[in-house]
Amino acid sequence: MLIDTYGRVATDLRVSLTDRCNLRCSYCMPEEGLQWLGKSELLTDDEIVRLIRVAVTSLGITEVRFTGGEPLLRPGLVGIVERVAALEPRPRMSLTTNGIGLKRTAEALKSAGLDRVNVSLDTLRPEVFKTLTRRNRHEDVLAGLEAARAAGLTPVKVNTVLMPGLNDDEAPDLLAWAVENDYELRFIEQMPLDAQHGWKRDGMITAGDILESLATRFRLEPEGEQARGAAPAERWIVDGGPHRVGVIGSVTRPFCAACDRTRLTADGQVRTCLFATEETDLRAALRDGAQDEELARIWRIAMWGKKAGSGLDDPSFLQPSRPMSAIGG
């Protein structure tokens, strides 16, 4: 079991498979990209599967989410999914992706054992997509979403970040589109995880702003805390159902008290929080010949020291030294 001093138990593991990405979203990284990790720094496929096995069989992990960077850029992704699906007990598996490569991989991922996907899409307007991502791939993302739905990687969730002056007027249109296409839309407040440290609290689009905008066109009924559990998204029933929309207010409506996550970076570091400024090195222990019991012990110690909150509500918040692309969303 992975428990911290506040009594929270981690059952959800986020695994970053690569720090690389084929988009350059303005809220994540600079246009020129980043200094990528070297191949020797990245965990191998065998190392990833072994650490997931330790987490599942010895530490009580029941959910595994593959992230990046862009996880579809990992050559061994399908094989990793297949091997994790064979674990006993079998964890539920999902993938967070920008969707560009889903059209060609959705069927293979479903066959390998992936349960569902989260796809990032911030706008319905191709020109705004190009401005936000610095790439002209809007049609590829839409095709990826359709392929995921057709393959049965459901519910297909769409993650959206609203940026002032770019797509902050699109919330109602995005929800109407999601309802029409049977996707579950989730708005995420912009978080301070950009490599260029350009995030500013003032002017960000808040959860309250999003809900106010949606209410101009839709009737929203809160699903409630009991239904939410440890999920990061507050959800609302749209126009009486069955569709729902979620809002993740990481900055203005933090959910740290119910957090059930632990994170493994692409280079084998345990992070107790997305906003943590410290990491615990599992890769070194693994490559030095540590047995599974020792890896589990190191992981437990790391999680025992998890802080009460993310610190985002502190005006002196210290932004993590590594951007989202390096630590997983």
pLDDT, tens digit, 9 for 90 and up, residues 7-61: 999 999 999 999 999 887 877 776 666 677 899 999 999 999 999 999 999 999 9
pTM of the model: 0.90
Q: For residue range 149-199, what is the model confidence (pLDDT) as tens digits?
A: 999 999 999 999 999 999 999 999 999 999 999 999 999 998 666 554 554
Q: Which residues pair with 261 in a beta bridge?
A: 12
pLDDT value at 319 more than 80: no
Chain segment 252-302, per-residue pLDDT in tens: 888 888 899 999 999 999 999 988 888 999 999 999 999 999 999 999 999
Q: What percent of the chain has pLDDT over 90?
A: 75
pLDDT of residue 139: 97
Highest mean pLDDT among 84-93, 201-210, 267-276, 300-309: 84-93
- How much is the CA Rg of the chain, to the nearest whole Å? 19
The dihedrals phi and psi of 85, each to the nearest 5 degrees, come to: -65, -25
Nearest to 4 by CA among 271, 310, 255, 308: 308
Q: Where does residue 252 rank: exposed (0-12), middle (13-18), buried (19+ CB within 10 A)? A: middle
Q: Residues of the chain with pLDDT > 70: what percent? A: 88
pLDDT value at residue 250: 82
CA distance 106 to 104: 6
- Please name the residue ranges forming H helices in 257-321: 283-287, 292-304
Question: Could you give the CA distance from residue 8 to residue 23 in angstroms, rounded to a whole number?
Answer: 35
Q: Is the peptide bond before 89 cis (omega within 30 degrees of 0)?
A: yes
Q: What is the pairing mode between strands 220-222 and 116-120?
A: unpaired
